[in-house]
């Protein structure tokens, strides 16, 4: 998939159906928008293109990093590509971008930089200066400039509106089952395996370390039954999310022991699905006590995965 980081990068797409949104977390409601874009594109012979942002506009507007991301930009791109998209504009949102009035955004960006013939957005989509742009405004501009519009209504499950805000709340509370129900997939942290302190190997529990990054919304610290995806294979695993209080406080880290793997994973890209919390993070007297607890954690993780038939 082509990912365009700047408007000037966009070329060769031809007439497009553009789906608009932040798409943080790619939950089930987002998928409805993306599916509608693919449908319209097929019906009208257009190129489906996702227009989104590399950062959360809410943080630029507030001037503070208040809102953490449900997934990374790379995860978002992978999920969108898996749905069948070949083009995604993922533009940095800035204060100058924020100050564009709604008509300027449509005329100069969506029509000027992208040959948009049809737009798809959600019922609560906002754009332009002071978020003055609404789906109604987009429809009005569509009549003026000659493009079509599909507005997707809100989606509810069990009386709750599916949204990125809801997913963040579920992650923070450790409601991984709820996340999966509303997102349509398990909660996962992915990245490239980096070197840790090497303390686990000599004690029989070598681990893979991931830096989740400061921008992600993370679940509570603790030990989780997990699944590790690496090189096209799925492995049962047990993961610790936290700051390693036994060894001394460190930046937040995801440390994963993978059952049945003994090779060199450094530099490999992996995805770790957190399935169930086994226990909260704890501080032990030393590595010997920690090692004994790890054996208990490994057994507990396997039992949890067996119970879920994973």
Q: Give the CATH number, domain containing residue 93.
A: 3.40.50.620
β-bridge pairing 116-122 and 16-20: parallel
Cα dihedral sign for 208, 270, 24, 107? positive
At 290, the pLDDT band (50, 70, 90 cuts) reads: confident
Q: For 170-176, what is the mean pLDDT?
A: 97
Q: Identify the domain boundary among 109, 144, 161.
A: 161
Are 24 and 100 in a shared domain? yes
* Domain count within the chain: 2
Are 152 and 297 in a shared domain? no
> Residue 245 pLDDT > 80, yes or no?
no
Q: What is the pLDDT of residue 202?
A: 40
Q: What is the pLDDT of residue 61?
A: 79
Closest CA to 21 of 34, 6, 40: 34
More confident call, 266 vs 149: 149
Judge residue 142's burial from the number of C-beta atoms within 10 Å of its C-beta, 0-12 exposed, 13-18 middle, 19 or more buried: middle
> Residue 169 pLDDT > 90, yes or no?
yes
Are 39 and 89 in a shared domain? yes
Parent domain of 136: 2-161
Q: For 38-65, what is the mean pLDDT?
A: 91
Q: Does 176 fall in a domain? A: no
Q: Does 173 fall in a domain? A: no
Mean pLDDT of the chain: 91
> Residue 251 pLDDT > 90, yes or no?
no
Are 121 and 204 in a shared domain? no
Are 50 and 107 in a shared domain? yes
With helix as H, strand as E and coil as C, how does 228-248 read? EEECCEEEEEEEEEECCCCCC
Are 148 and 192 in a shared domain? no
State pLDDT tens for residues 54-92. Answer: 988 888 877 777 899 999 999 999 999 999 999 999 999
Q: Does 169 fall in a domain? A: no
Q: Does 180 fall in a domain? A: no
At 197, the pLDDT band (50, 70, 90 cuts) reads: low
Q: Does 181 fall in a domain? A: no
């Amino acid at each position: 998939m082509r990912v365009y980081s700047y408007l000037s990068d966009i070329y060769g797409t031809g007439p497009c159906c553009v789906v608009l949104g932040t798409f943080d977390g790619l939950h089930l409601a987002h998928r409805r928008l993306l599916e509608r874009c693919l449908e319209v594109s097929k019906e009208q012979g257009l190129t489906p293109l996702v227009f989104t942002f590399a950062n959360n506009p809410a943080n630029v507007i507030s001037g503070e990093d208040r809102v953490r991301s449900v997934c990374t930009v790379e995860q978002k791109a992978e999920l969108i590509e898996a749905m069948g998209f070949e083009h995604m504009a993922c533009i940095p949102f800035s204060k100058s971008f924020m100050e564009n009035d709604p008509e300027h955004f449509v005329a100069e960006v969506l029509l000027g930089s992208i040959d948009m013939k049809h737009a798809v957005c959600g019922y609560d989509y906002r754009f332009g200066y002071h978020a003055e742009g609404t789906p109604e405004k987009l429809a009005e501009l569509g009549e003026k400039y000659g493009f079509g519009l599909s507005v997707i209504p809100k989606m509810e499950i069990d009386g709750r509106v599916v949204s990125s805000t809801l997913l963040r709340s579920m992650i923070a509370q450790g409601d991984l089952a709820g996340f999966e129900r509303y997102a349509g997939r398990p909660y996962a942290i992915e990245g490239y395996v980096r070197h840790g302190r090497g303390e686990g190997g000599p004690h029989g529990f070598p681990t893979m370390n991931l830096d989740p990054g400061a921008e992600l919304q993370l679940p509570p610290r603790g030990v989780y039954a997990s699944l590790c995806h690496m090189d096209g294979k799925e492995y049962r695993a047990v993961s610790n999310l936290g700051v390693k209080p036994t060894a001394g406080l460190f930046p937040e880290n995801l440390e994963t022991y993978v059952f049945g793997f003994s090779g060199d994973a450094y530099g490999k890209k992996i995805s770790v699905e957190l399935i169930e919390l086994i226990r909260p993070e704890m501080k032990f007297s030393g590595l010997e006590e920690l090692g004994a607890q790890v054996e208990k954690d490994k057994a507990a993780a396997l039992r949890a995965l067996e119970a879920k038939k994973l």
